[in-house]
Amino acid sequence: MRGRRAVVFDLISALLAAVAVAVAPGWFWAGFLSDRADRAERLAFSVALSMGMVSALALALSFLFGNGVTLAVAITSILVVFLSGLAAHLFFGRTKASEEPLAGHAAEPPPERAEGRGLRNLARRLALPAVMAVVAVRGYLGPVLHDWPYIRGIDQYIQSVMVNLALSGGEIKDFMVYPAGFHAFLASVSRLSGLEPLELFPVLGPAFLLLPPLALYALGRRIWGVPVGVAAAFFSGVVLASSHQYLIEARYLHLTAAQFFMALAVAALLGLLAAPSFRSGALFAAVGSSIVLFHPVSSFYLALLLALLAAFFLPYLLIRERRTAIALFSSLAALGLLAVAFAWDTYDLGRFALNLLGGSSGPTSAAVTGAVGTQQPYGLSHLPGTISHPVLWLGLLGAALLFAEKERPRLPYTLAKAALLVWALLMFVGSRTAASGFPERFERDLGVPLALLAAFAAVSVLGFAARSERRASLRLLAAAAVVAVVGWQAFSNLHEAAAPAPEDPTATDRIAMTPEFEAAGAWLEENNGGGNIIAEPYLASLPSRAILAMGRYSSVQTFTDGRIDMNRDLPPSGQKPPRDALSVIRNPDSERAREIVEGYDIRYIVLYKRNPGWEWRGVRYPDLYQKTFENNSVVIFDPSEARGGDSAESAMSPAAPALDQASPSYG
């Protein structure tokens, strides 16, 4: 078990490496492409551009040299992005900075008297850092108090397998139909920090919670000004429930793509519509296409949203603002070309198109058909708990206030309001139908536009209470109610974040790792001589993919019968390998088991000794299955004889000592 001092050292190493990969490289590109002078906005776009450009270049170099994301590849990618941005900044300069929000005026209370302005300016400067500090506390509180050296969420093991593949030059799409951008990013951080993927997540994972509020600040400030931007960051990072749920489930990738990149893509789109230019178009294309490099579901969001907005905006702009229409169309075309380039190898788009024309199916089409219609949406009563009551009801109030505005706004603000409402409506409709494929995620990510609308509503209510002189008691009561409800939800969320992980094995936010499982994984890694392994679908509440990640394997993946029959989120190889793996576990003495062990080059079989649904003692054949590791929970067998006797050298390694010396030995 790693001590606290080692964890602190890991945290510092991981954060410094993350800054080197995800912040610094895109700083000058963000200044060159964006017309905003606000440093926090520039930081948000710098992170997005850094993660997207460094990951894309690292993948290209990895593919070119075939060695994976090595230290040289990581450093080269960082330097190329940083130096090219610096060159563009020096030779062409930055665009004229724009401070005015799209609404034409900031949605904020009226200015105070002269003696209060200094205090107000100081508060404005400190407000966002204070919000981000609270968000960081919300992310790290539970892990610091309860989790380390482990951390909650089982999805970290899936991502770790794919990061290991990116490090070694393996094909991620053979494990899952997933783009490799996030894994190339984490592989670069891993190389610079010296930490393995499973060592990164406990210290770096909570920091991903900082990204959505940073993006919502940039979007809110761009539309309504700093007060709404700060409020949006607060609602997103402290009040919204779904972002923290992603964190404790270790769904860092979806959190980053759907709630950070997506919000910044909308912000870049609104910047393009307000001031069409080559630079604003390039920023929109770069940020939007990065989503395709990172996550398939978020790419689906983006495609649907842009298709709807293009259908609404382009015909109108061709009549009213032809220059803006041309810029929008050109940027969408550039984004589409980059998206196709990023997605071509991951989804094997050439074969996918041929399969569609020929009526056959491939891995991509199987993944699509396995998702559509297989997840039923929750009832409407589930929605407030998913995104929190204040975000839901204030978000709806914010949408109503947008409709109720009497002043005739400028065209960019009109388009911005339409984009927000279409975005929110799209996410709501997707959460109500199984045809979207991912109604649960649509429901969670509906909280992003609603958090922005809730911030607008909260600032508007507080501003109105400060301005108007009529019915003062009623206005003050409304303002106090908003502050009380939002404050109570924020306090409740922080209190929940400080609570220990649940012990219920069905809870998605549980800590599934134990020292016994960690010891088995360490033994597998130490004795990894190639080939593949088979592990039970679940070892207690630990999925088999965790065993693969710890042992630095990527196959054979195993699932329960029900999961296989559902045919959802299976590897590209389909149902056959998981069923074959179950066959070996259930009937190890059969001739079919020997064929599978030999055909898949199985080096080890990992079984959970306490699982009542599986009888590990069924492996009774020392001439075929040699026991090589055992502790109180896990037993590992080497089926070298069943494989034909050509055992790897690792099969001769002595078994690791059991953690529980009093545990019985089973033959």
pLDDT band, residue 1 (cuts 50/70/90): very low
pLDDT of residue 653: 35
pLDDT of residue 465: 67
Among 67-76, 406-415, 517-526, 551-560, the range scoring the smallest mean pLDDT is 406-415
What is the token pair recorded at 73?
Answer: 């590849």
Do residues 292 and 258 make contact, with C-beta atoms less than 8 angstroms apart?
Answer: no
Among 108-117, 143-152, 205-214, the range scoring the smallest mean pLDDT is 108-117
Residue 569 phi/psi, 5-degree rounding, is 60, 35
Please state the rounded mean pLDDT for residues 405-434: 91
What is the token pair recorded at 469?
Answer: 């002189």
Please state the rounded mean pLDDT for residues 216-240: 96
Please state the rounded mean pLDDT for residues 28-53: 92
pLDDT tens sequence across 71-100: 999 999 999 999 999 999 898 877 766 678
Q: How many Cα atoms sit within 13 Å of 564 on the Cβ side?
A: 16
Dist. CA 217–CA 448, nearest whole Å: 12
pLDDT of residue 648: 42
Name the pTM for this structure.
0.90
Dist. CA 94–CA 162, nearest whole Å: 38
Question: Is residue 605 scored above 60 in pLDDT?
Answer: yes
Which amino acid is it at 232? A
Among 118-122, 211-215, 305-309, 488-492, the range scoring the smallest mean pLDDT is 118-122
Q: Classify 537 in phi/psi space as left (phi over 0), alpha (psi -120 to 50) or beta.
A: alpha
pLDDT of residue 355: 65
Which amino acid is it at 315? P
Do residues 597 and 643 make contact, with C-beta atoms less than 8 angstroms apart?
Answer: yes
pLDDT band, residue 9 (cuts 50/70/90): confident
pLDDT tens sequence across 357-367: 665 556 555 66
Could you report how far apart the first and last alpha carbons of the chain are, in Å?
A: 30
Nearest Cα neighbor of 164 from 138, 200, 202 is 200
